Amino acid sequence: MTRFHATGAQRATMGFRNILLAAAFTATVPSTAVLAQPYPNKPVTVVLSLAAGSGMDSIARLYAEPLAQALGKPVVIDNRPGAALMLAAAAVATAPPDGYTLLVSTSSAMAINPVLYKQINYNPEKDFEPISLYVKSPFVLVVDPALPVKTVPELIKYVKESGKPLTYSSPGAGVAQHLSMEFMKQRFGLEITHVPYRSTPQSITDIAAGHVNMGFAEAGASVPLIKDGKLRALAVSSSTRLGVLPDVPPFAEAAGAPDFEAVSWHLLFAPAGTPKDIVERLHQDMKKIMGAPEMQKKIADLGLIPLDPPSLADTRAYVESERTKWGALVRKLGLEGSQ
């Protein structure tokens, strides 16, 4: 048998070829280290629909630090208010679905505006994946203290029997406070004229001043006036009591209407298509953080209702029920596409 003996030059050439082949193979096979990089490996940004200093912002900054600890990476709060809470939603709708850009939004952007506005730059049903429903933001049914009513049944009776026209205020047509009052009017067959304002503070102070008879008001803005006796609180719009107003009953209880609830909410979303394991991880982290007693107390102290975040399936079902409820009311009021 003849044996092949490579010369030094041939051995050098073969070695060089082997190096090239190895390099080519390495280039076509992804690095195991790259494939195995866990989520997250960079900061996570949470885009908020409301401005710094709002209740949404205060709560997000409360959980940003423990969420960062749970993830092992910084959590950055990015406030993008504007366009009736739709600016933030539109930005996150087109973000990469990789878990690094999240959205906190509300019933206005996700359940009301899609019917109220002629055109929006996102699809609330198709562009987002719900992660965590952690807060309900109720309204307080307040009246001018000069009005001769101290309970919801007395108010309903007074509205029906009063010979003079009565009015209610809100920060604008189509906002949650406006629709909450219309929800009450529809439920009990009441006639009350809407007086829209351009800001929440003015819509509330004009009730205290006697220019308007009543309204569903944000708790944070109305509680000081209630405690000073400048407004009379009859009920809260949530199905449970509000920590900062423990003596004020839920509207459902006060009016004998167990199905009545008219609240806004804070919900953490990811762009649609975000991997299920990332969504599940974020859901579990938020459930642990938001369900902690100290976090629940801090949220209650802000005049909001803390939730132990429900399951992902229950969260999706809740959002869908809210879209159905508010969308139907907007259409019934003839406000579809009015903005």
Residues 144-170 have a mean pLDDT of 95
Q: How confident is the model at residue 4 (pLDDT cuts 50, 70, 90)?
A: very low
Q: Tell me if residue 137 falls in helix, strand or coil.
A: strand
Q: What is the CATH number of the domain that holds 98?
A: 3.40.190.150
251 and 278, same structural domain?
no
Q: Of 225, 255, 285, at which residue does a domain stop?
A: 255
Shortest CA distance to 234 belongs to which of 125, 176, 128, 151? 151
**Helix 312-332 with 276-290: angle, nearest 10 deg:** 90
106 and 158, same structural domain?
no
33 within a domain of the structure (yes/no) = no
Q: Of 236, 255, 274, at which residue does a domain stop?
A: 255
pLDDT at 32 > cutoff 80: no
Amino acid in the structure at residue 102: L
Q: Of 209, 225, 255, at which residue does a domain stop?
A: 255
Q: How confident is the model at residue 19 (pLDDT cuts 50, 70, 90)?
A: very low
Q: Tell me if residue 217 falls in helix, strand or coil.
A: strand
pLDDT at 255: 94
127 and 110, same structural domain?
yes
302 and 251, same structural domain?
no
- The rounded radius of gyration (Å) of the Cα atoms in the chain is 27
CB 114 within 8 A of CB 327: yes
215 within a domain of the structure (yes/no) = yes
115 and 49, same structural domain?
yes
215 and 146, same structural domain?
yes
Please give the Cα distance from 240 to 60 (Å, whole number): 23
DSSP result, 294-305: HHHHHHHHTT-E
202 and 174, same structural domain?
yes
88 within a domain of the structure (yes/no) = yes
pLDDT at 37: 73
171 and 115, same structural domain?
no
7 within a domain of the structure (yes/no) = no
For the chain, percent of residues with pLDDT exceeding 90: 78
Q: Tell me the residue range of the domain where 102 lies.
A: 44-137+264-332
17 within a domain of the structure (yes/no) = no
212 and 122, same structural domain?
no
Residues 308-327 have a mean pLDDT of 96
Strands (E), 146-200: 167-170, 193-196
Q: Rounded to the nearest 5 degrees, what angle is found at the Cα of 266, between the Cα atoms of 261 and 268?
A: 135
Shortest CA distance to 106 belongs to which of 221, 266, 231? 266
317 within a domain of the structure (yes/no) = yes
251 and 211, same structural domain?
yes
CB 96 within 8 A of CB 65: no
102 and 58, same structural domain?
yes
Answer whether the bond into residue 165 is a cis peptide, omega within 30°.
no
Please give the Cα distance from 326 to 182 (Å, whole number): 11
What is the domain count for the chain?
A: 2
Q: Is residue 293 classed exposed, middle or buried when 0-12, 13-18 and 19+ CB atoms within 10 A define those classes?
A: exposed
250 and 179, same structural domain?
yes
Ranking 142-146, 152-156, 276-280, 332-336 by mean pLDDT, the lowest is 332-336
Q: What is the pTM of this model?
A: 0.83
Q: Tell me if residue 219 falls in helix, strand or coil.
A: helix
Q: Tell me if residue 209 falls in helix, strand or coil.
A: coil
pLDDT at 18 > cutoff 60: no
Q: What is the CATH number of the domain that holds 231?
A: 3.40.190.10
11 within a domain of the structure (yes/no) = no
84 within a domain of the structure (yes/no) = yes
pLDDT digits (tens, 9 = 90+) for 217-262: 988 889 999 999 999 999 999 999 998 999 999 999 999 999 899 9
Please give the Cα distance from 152 to 157 (Å, whole number): 9
